[in-house]
Amino acid sequence: MKRSVLTRYRVMAYVTAVMLLILCACMVAKYGFDTGADLTFVVSQTHGVLFMIYLVFAFDLGSKAKWPFGKLLWVLVSGTIPLAAFFVERGIRAEVEPLISDPLATAKA
């Protein structure tokens, strides 16, 4: 497996998690304080598009790492739970990094 697959997933996990937190703040502003309705729409649409990209990259990583369906589902769903993607990403990185093929190690062997 290439490092770029993990890097793409990690970037999108962080971007999606941050956008979800921003969306939560916008929702509080919109429904709690009756402000920022236009901003909430833009942020929600942006998060939706970024989440779809996250799903593609997470699925790609999961299929290359040969995860069972339950684990893949948890990683995919973690992008919808505020703060969960930060913790899930950390665990996934620790699990997948040993699986990454190191071109220098294979050249020495």
CA distance 41 to 5: 31
Q: What is the DSSP letter of 26?
A: H
Nearest C-alpha neighbor of 13 from the set 71, 66, 56 = 56
Spatial CA neighbour of 10 closest among 95, 82, 101: 95
Tell me the pLDDT tens digit for each residue of 70-80. Answer: 999 999 998 88
- Tokens 């956008």 belong to 19
Distance, in Å, from the CA atom of 12 to the CA atom of 93, rounded to the nearest integer, reads 13
Instruction: Encode the chain (109 residues) as per-residue pLDDT tens digits.
Output: 788 889 999 999 999 999 999 999 999 998 888 887 888 899 999 999 999 999 999 999 999 888 899 999 999 998 888 888 899 999 999 888 888 866 554 445 4
What CA–CA distance (Å, rounded) separates 108 from 34?
Answer: 63
